Amino acid sequence: MFTLKSKSIVETTAGPVEGSFDARRHYVSFKGIPYAAQPVGQRRWKPPAPLTPWIEPLDCTTPGPIAHQRSSSYEFGAKIVDGLGLSVGKRALLKAGMRARSTTEHENCLTLSVRSRADADNAPVMVWIHGGDHTDGSGSEPIYDTNALASRGIVQVNINYRLGLFGFLAHPELDEESEAGTSGNYGLMDQIAALRWVQENIENFGGNPNNVTIFGESAGGQAVLNLMTAPAARGLFHQAISQSPGDSGRWLHHSRPALDFEPANVAGLKFANLAVGDGPNQIPRLRAVTAERLMVLYRNHAEIGRYFYPAVDGHWLRQVPLSAFMHRTQAPVPLMIGYNANEGSLFSDAGIPAGPEMLAYGSETVLTTLTRSYGSAGIARAVMAAYPGLEDLEASAIADHLRDHIFGVQVDHCAREHADSGHNVYRYHYRNRPASRTATIGAFHAAEIFNVFDSAIPLVPGGSGYENLTRTMGDRWAAFATTGSPNCADHPNWPAYDPDAPAHMIFNRPDSGVEPCPAQDALDLMRARIERLTDIVTSDVDLTEPMPSRPGDTSSSTGASMFTGI
């Protein structure tokens, strides 16, 4: 790395990039670095391709465009603001600030950012995968744009990838185009391409390519589990942190039905019929339609949009991640995983009692919906009994059930299976509630992000002990990325998870500490359901086929070049 005036210039495999220092020159950041060619025009719904090299330094001091968004981030943020127990005036100010924030959406979104100490050398690397249901969000959100991890010696990489319609559309004609004979999962391919960029370039930014941690929240947490499952990602990371992994499209399969899901490529065909009419050559016609027009159709047809998610296709995703953990085919890396006490508080008004993997039940009773989901009226009644008020669609009961059905059971299942496989697991439970006594959202979905990145919602007090909680979580995350264990000086011991005596680290204020996991009969019912359903959507592949152990293994599609196998 060398400096030019107040900027920093670093060489990448495609050409030099120019970043900027902070005012004291302690930290350096690069924003909007392209890691793959623009996926536009004839490259729409294609695997990420290599960049065309450049010679002059590329200005990387401002973020690039974000992927096209299905819905406004304002809606989610407004729910948080309304539940924090703030005054009318503060709520109005916060919402006005969110409305005023402008972002540019574009298909040309395959960029990433790098942030580090100015003197970083062979430092641990953390690659952040943002949340947003695989349909919204970006790595350039202000809450991720801090020096919290860099100050602890981490080189932080935030990635953008294609979302929703442009990231996960499957279609028979796209299957025919593909060398792998399958389509969709372009967003997953983007994530893998970004990790390969890290392997080839991060050393020049002061990072250690042999010590990479992937971490993400919600859809990003699910993406972490997907990457632990994907053969092409094997060897590209060395630790994994999955924060509140969601279950969006959890059972979706590329070419066979499962539960209420029809095959993803059939749903893609239906979308194409809506957009350009039936008949041959739909994909060339779709590529000729503007992104804005296609996004209007996507937003207006949620019944089809629910299929634009990662899907089991036998190639990029050979199994549902939950099945991979059961079959012991996941990446053998240390795992930190957990969820929040009130994950469902922001979703109860739109929640489906069987979770988003089932269609809205309409006139069906809750019992009927749960019976379809669990395959037994007796089990459905037992689940309803565990959440009093669920049958009458009480908001608190729906919130508690969604917390466990969407988030809790995934954490419980993956923690148990990964530990049983002989790998170190560190499980946590986040319980910090907003400081206001009139707050209604509790330890809400995504709340822990503010502690990990030492961010703050303007005008919102953290409360007594909040700074200590933030310091503790930042230290734990950085320690895990450095050594594969979250244990570090000045903090109590956090033992590896033991399925025979399950315990988790409680993150709360004023104090955090280890507690036994409470017995939850409902989670046991949900785990039994997972075990029954996982193999329904497992691809027809040889699960005994050797998995690659590092980039460049000849036994896999992962090659030495960043784009080999994509």
Which residue out of 8, 140, 183, 218 is catalytically annotated? 218
User: Residue 369: enclosing H or E segment and its boundaries?
Assistant: helix 366-374
DSSP assignment string, 488-557: -TTS---PPP-TTS-EEEEE-SS--EEEEPPP-HHHHHHHHHHHHHGGGG--SS-TTSPPPSSTT-TTSS
Q: Would you give the end-to-end CA distance of the chain in angstroms?
A: 30
Per DSSP (E only), the strands in 150-196 are 155-159
Q: Decide if 116 is catalytic.
A: no
Between CA 370 and CA 353 the distance in angstroms is 7
Between CA 213 and CA 336 the distance in angstroms is 10
The pair of structure tokens assigned to 143 is: 């809450």
DSSP one-letter code for 406: I
The pair of structure tokens assigned to 208 is: 């250690």
Between CA 124 and CA 209 the distance in angstroms is 8
From residue 43, alpha-carbon distances to 270, 338, 441 in Å are 21, 37, 43
DSSP one-letter code for 327: H
User: Residue 188: enclosing H or E segment and its boundaries?
Assistant: helix 186-201
With beta carbons less than 8 A apart as the criterion, state whether 231 and 118 touch.
no
Alpha carbon 234 to its chain centroid, in Å, reads 17
If DSSP codes are grouped into helix, strand and coil, which group holds residue 126? strand
Catalytic residue numbers read 218
